[in-house]
């Protein structure tokens, strides 16, 4: 299977057997696929047969894959916002400047500003537009500083002392479909009982969701009274853990903004993928060469990735409609077929019937949507539902694994993607570097152990065992480093597993792995805060999809060996099948009670390894 441009073509002259095979699969496509899928299968087949070799065909498909990847996607931007009760802006404007220089905020909400010289602060914060509302007393007041305003976003700043003369309902007129209300509400949602119920009941009436930091915001009372309410947006919020002279901690937040919605979507036609993979099996069976395992496997996974990239259809999301009942969908299909028939026949009677049926369909759709909306409103406003939700909302904690920025060693925040990747790469490269070994080492420099089963070979994998392992594997859609997922296994022709069976057995017997199995796609998730150092992230490694099948097959053999030779103690309960950690806990307590009843001394050592799962 040479990749040279001078290699022998797939079909230098088409033999009758291959011609009959081609016709067979074309007929099969017409019988099992839709009209569009048949045309797509025919085009892919023409491209496969017209190319001189595998390399030229994959290069052609690479262009389709690149075009598909360049679809206008949802480009997500974010707005970094600071909420800070400054307790007098004239006293702490320098502290605000230091926060701006470190975090480069897009907007600031400063509450309890007190009286200040606004012309002086306009010169200090010259990069921001100032919006100021004087408070009801000399200590109150809210100042909003913003660089750029979003047309569809409203940001509201609130300072609500206990002595306020207004109610929460007075804010209802300012709530829009996409808004964020920041402020010092002087209400702890978890501990303030009736005051919290009143605030949450108003927020529920306005369809507002509260977003609360994970730790206290008031240094004076150890309460959480600085937070935000959102509507139609996503918000991540956290407390700034640096030093401050105010008795309120600064609050850092990130608002996710979708600056451009993707207008086009794509959907992979897996039936075309499945049929074409079945058609090309004979080619791979002929060129499956385990003596050059890396070249063979790399070509195979590239073929699967590019074939899946050749099968998608691009459609306009604006024409995408919500799920409808089966009877309405069937009725609409009937009207559409009747309409095409009328266009062909030019029949006026048929045209009147189509118009009449369209009115009926439109009425049915209006009834359906009205019913859905009526059910949602009735459920929301029912006495049991409303009471339950607004009382239980305080116990919901928003969880987000999104990363919006890294804090480097100098305390500066990095929001650019390239810089964030470099910071994470430098950290984990240093984290996983080889440790220094002092010689002689009891593990690496000890004499090699001669085991009595050194000549025992790993049992071969059978095809039935392999297929059962594939079927039991969860068909997730997360992509590995090569763009493949377990979901693809649902549509891969079963004959290919006989080729992969040879690969797995060859790997077990020769202790040789394809180098592509070492490629890993790593995704970083935030452990707690969305703006954090790289050390506070959790790396998730997405392994090669076919390698995970091989690992499962090896694990069954390894566990069988451990069980036969009794190498694991019965006290080892963690991560073992048919062993429960609860059983070990009960036995541990029983041992302690037994020793204590006999007046024997008891000493217990509990060990918690820092960042154990990061190793």
The per-residue pLDDT for range 310-339, each reduced to its tens digit, is 988 777 766 665 667 878 888 888 888 888
Q: What are the two backbone dihedrals, phi and then psi, of residue 324, each rounded to the nearest 5 degrees?
A: -120, 155
On whether the CB atoms of residues 79 and 150 are closer than 8 A, the answer is yes
Counting the structural domains of the chain, the total is 5
Average pLDDT value for residue range 545-574: 88
Q: Looking at the domain assignment, is residue 424 inside a domain? A: no
Average pLDDT value for residue range 166-183: 92
3 state SS of 33: coil
- Whether 72 has a pLDDT exceeding 80, the answer reads no
Average pLDDT value for residue range 37-64: 91
Residue 5 pLDDT grade (very low, low, confident, very high; cuts 50, 70, 90): very low
Same domain, 49 and 165: no
pLDDT at 73 (0 to 100):
46
Q: Which domain holds residue 347?
A: 326-395
DSSP sequence for 123-155: HHTTTSEEEEE--SSTT--EEEEESS--TT-EE
Q: Looking at the domain assignment, is residue 471 inside a domain? A: yes
- Whether 454 has a pLDDT exceeding 60, the answer reads yes
Average pLDDT value for residue range 206-213: 88
pLDDT at 119 (0 to 100):
87
Pairwise CA distance, residues 317 & 266, whole Å = 9
Average pLDDT value for residue range 430-440: 78
CA dihedral 133, 135, 139, 143 (to 10 degrees): -20
Residue 215 pLDDT grade (very low, low, confident, very high; cuts 50, 70, 90): confident
pLDDT at 78 (0 to 100):
83
pLDDT at 7 (0 to 100):
45
- Whether 579 has a pLDDT exceeding 90, the answer reads no
- Whether 306 has a pLDDT exceeding 70, the answer reads yes
Same domain, 81 and 227: yes
pLDDT at 477 (0 to 100):
87
pLDDT at 466 (0 to 100):
95
Q: Looking at the domain assignment, is residue 430 inside a domain? A: no
Same domain, 145 and 178: yes
Residue 518 pLDDT grade (very low, low, confident, very high; cuts 50, 70, 90): very high
Residue 13 pLDDT grade (very low, low, confident, very high; cuts 50, 70, 90): very low
| CA nearest to 238, candidates 532, 600, 606 | 532
Same domain, 271 and 217: no
Q: Six-digit token pair at 283?
A: 């080619």
pLDDT at 68 (0 to 100):
55
Same domain, 235 and 383: no
On whether the CB atoms of residues 125 and 110 are closer than 8 A, the answer is no
pLDDT at 318 (0 to 100):
64
Same domain, 352 and 315: no
pLDDT at 415 (0 to 100):
84
On whether the CB atoms of residues 165 and 206 are closer than 8 A, the answer is no
Same domain, 99 and 232: yes
Average pLDDT value for residue range 588-599: 89
Same domain, 115 and 213: yes
- Whether 123 has a pLDDT exceeding 60, the answer reads yes
Average pLDDT value for residue range 109-122: 89
Q: Six-digit token pair at 515?
A: 């180098």
Q: Looking at the domain assignment, is residue 400 inside a domain? A: no
Residue 527 pLDDT grade (very low, low, confident, very high; cuts 50, 70, 90): confident
- Whether 384 has a pLDDT exceeding 80, the answer reads no
Q: Looking at the domain assignment, is residue 22 inside a domain? A: yes
Pairwise CA distance, residues 482 & 521, whole Å = 8
Q: Looking at the domain assignment, is residue 359 inside a domain? A: yes
Pairwise CA distance, residues 572 & 561, whole Å = 16
Residue 516 pLDDT grade (very low, low, confident, very high; cuts 50, 70, 90): very high
Same domain, 172 and 184: yes
On whether the CB atoms of residues 548 and 520 are closer than 8 A, the answer is no
Q: Looking at the domain assignment, is residue 143 inside a domain? A: yes
Bond prior to 138 in cis (omega within 30° of 0): no
Average pLDDT value for residue range 130-148: 88
CATH of the domain at 109: 3.60.10.10
- Whether 380 has a pLDDT exceeding 80, the answer reads no
Q: How far apart are the first and last CA of the chain?
A: 41
Least confident of 75-79, 117-121, 140-144: 75-79
Least confident of 34-48, 236-250, 430-444, 565-579: 430-444
Pairwise CA distance, residues 234 & 254, whole Å = 8
On whether the CB atoms of residues 540 and 522 are closer than 8 A, the answer is yes
Same domain, 41 and 124: no
The domain boundary residue, chosen from 240, 260, 280: 260
423 or 316, greater pLDDT = 423
Same domain, 57 and 79: no
| Ramachandran bin of 230, using left for φ above 0, alpha for ψ from -120 to 50, beta for the remaining angles | beta
Residue 74 pLDDT grade (very low, low, confident, very high; cuts 50, 70, 90): very low
pLDDT at 40 (0 to 100):
92
Least confident of 343-347, 518-522, 593-597: 343-347
Residue 47 pLDDT grade (very low, low, confident, very high; cuts 50, 70, 90): very high
Same domain, 345 and 473: no
Pairwise CA distance, residues 319 & 329, whole Å = 15
pLDDT at 397 (0 to 100):
53
- Whether 373 has a pLDDT exceeding 80, the answer reads no
pLDDT at 304 (0 to 100):
95
Q: Looking at the domain assignment, is residue 277 inside a domain? A: yes
- Whether 597 has a pLDDT exceeding 60, the answer reads yes
Residue 607, classified by CB atoms within 10 Å of its CB into exposed (0-12), middle (13-18) or buried (19+), is exposed
pLDDT at 480 (0 to 100):
92
55 or 382, greater pLDDT = 55
Least confident of 141-155, 239-253, 393-407: 393-407
Q: What's the distance, CA 503 to chain centroid?
A: 32
pLDDT at 18 (0 to 100):
67
Average pLDDT value for residue range 240-261: 82
Q: What's the distance, CA 486 to chain centroid?
A: 16
Q: What percent of the chain has pLDDT over 70?
A: 87
Average pLDDT value for residue range 16-44: 86
Q: What percent of the chain has pLDDT over 90?
A: 34
- Whether 426 has a pLDDT exceeding 80, the answer reads yes
Residue 12 pLDDT grade (very low, low, confident, very high; cuts 50, 70, 90): very low
Least confident of 63-67, 80-84, 342-346, 390-394: 390-394
């Amino acid at each position: 299977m040479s990749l040279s441009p001078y290699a022998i073509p797939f079909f230098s002259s088409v033999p009758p057997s291959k011609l009959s095979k081609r016709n067979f699969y074309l007929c099969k496509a017409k019988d099992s696929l839709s009209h569009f899928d048949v045309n797509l299968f025919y085009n892919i087949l023409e491209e496969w047969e017209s190319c001189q070799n595998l390399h030229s065909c994959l290069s052609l498909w690479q262009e389709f894959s690149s075009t598909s990847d360049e679809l206008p996607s949802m480009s997500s931007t974010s707005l970094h916002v600071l909420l800070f009760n400054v307790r007098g802006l004239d006293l702490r404007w320098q502290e605000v400047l230091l926060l701006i220089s470190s975090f480069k905020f897009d907007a600031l909400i400063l509450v309890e500003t007190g009286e200040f010289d606004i012309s002086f602060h306009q010169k200090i914060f010259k990069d921001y537009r100032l919006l100021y509302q004087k408070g009801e007393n000399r200590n109150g007041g809210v100042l909003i500083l913003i660089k750029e305003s979003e047309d569809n976003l409203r940001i509201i700043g609130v300072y609500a002392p206990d002595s306020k003369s207004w109610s929460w309902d007075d804010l209802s007129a300012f709530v829009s479909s996409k808004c964020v209300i920041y402020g010092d509400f002087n209400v702890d949602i978890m501990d303030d009982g009736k005051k919290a119920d009143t605030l949450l009941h108003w927020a529920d009436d306005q369809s507002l969701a509260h977003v609360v930091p994970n730790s206290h915001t008031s240094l004076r009372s150890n309460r959480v009274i600085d937070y935000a309410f959102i509507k139609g947006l996503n918000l991540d919020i956290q407390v700034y853990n640096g030093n401050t002279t105010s008795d309120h901690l600064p609050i850092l937040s990130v608002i996710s903004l979708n600056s451009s919605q993707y207008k086009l979507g794509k959907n992979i036609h897996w039936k075309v993928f499945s049929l074409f993979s079945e058609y090309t099996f004979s080619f791979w069976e002929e060129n499956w060469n385990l003596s050059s395992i890396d070249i063979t496997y790399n070509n195979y996974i590239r073929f699967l990735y590019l074939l899946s990239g050749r099968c998608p259809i691009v459609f306009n999301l604006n024409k995408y409609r919500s799920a409808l009942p089966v009877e309405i969908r069937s009725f609409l299909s009937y009207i559409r077929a009747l309409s095409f028939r009328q266009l062909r026949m030019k029949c006026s009677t048929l045209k009147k019937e189509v118009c009449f049926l369209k009115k009926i369909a439109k009425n049915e759709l209006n009834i359906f949507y009205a019913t859905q909306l009526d059910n949602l409103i009735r459920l929301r406003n029912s006495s049991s539902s409303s009471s339950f939700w607004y009382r239980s909302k305080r116990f919901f904690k928003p969880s987000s694994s999104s990363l919006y920025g890294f804090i480097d060693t100098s305390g500066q925040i990095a929001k650019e993607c390239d810089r964030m990747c470099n910071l994470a790469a430098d950290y984990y490269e240093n984290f996983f570097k080889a440790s220094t070994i002092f010689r002689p080492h009891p593990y690496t420099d000890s004499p090699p152990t001669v085991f009595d089963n050194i000549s025992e070979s790993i049992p071969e994998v059978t095809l039935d065992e392999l297929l059962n392992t594939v079927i039991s594997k969860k068909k997730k859609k997360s992509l590995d480093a090569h763009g493949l997922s377990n979901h693809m296994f649902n549509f891969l022709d079963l004959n290919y597993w006989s080729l992969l069976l040879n690969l797995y057995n060859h790997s077990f017997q020769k202790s040789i792995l394809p180098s592509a199995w070492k490629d890993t796609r790593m995704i970083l998730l935030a452990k707690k805060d969305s703006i954090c150092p790289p050390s506070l992230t959790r790396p998730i490694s997405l392994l090669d999809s076919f390698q995970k099948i091989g690992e499962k097959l090896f694990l069954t053999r390894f566990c069988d060996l451990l069980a036969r030779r009794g190498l694991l103690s019965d006290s080892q309960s963690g991560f073992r099948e048919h062993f429960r950690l609860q059983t070990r806990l009960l036995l541990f307590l029983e041992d302690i009670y037994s020793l204590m009843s006999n007046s024997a001394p008891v000493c217990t050592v509990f060990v918690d390894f820092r960042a154990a799962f990061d190793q």
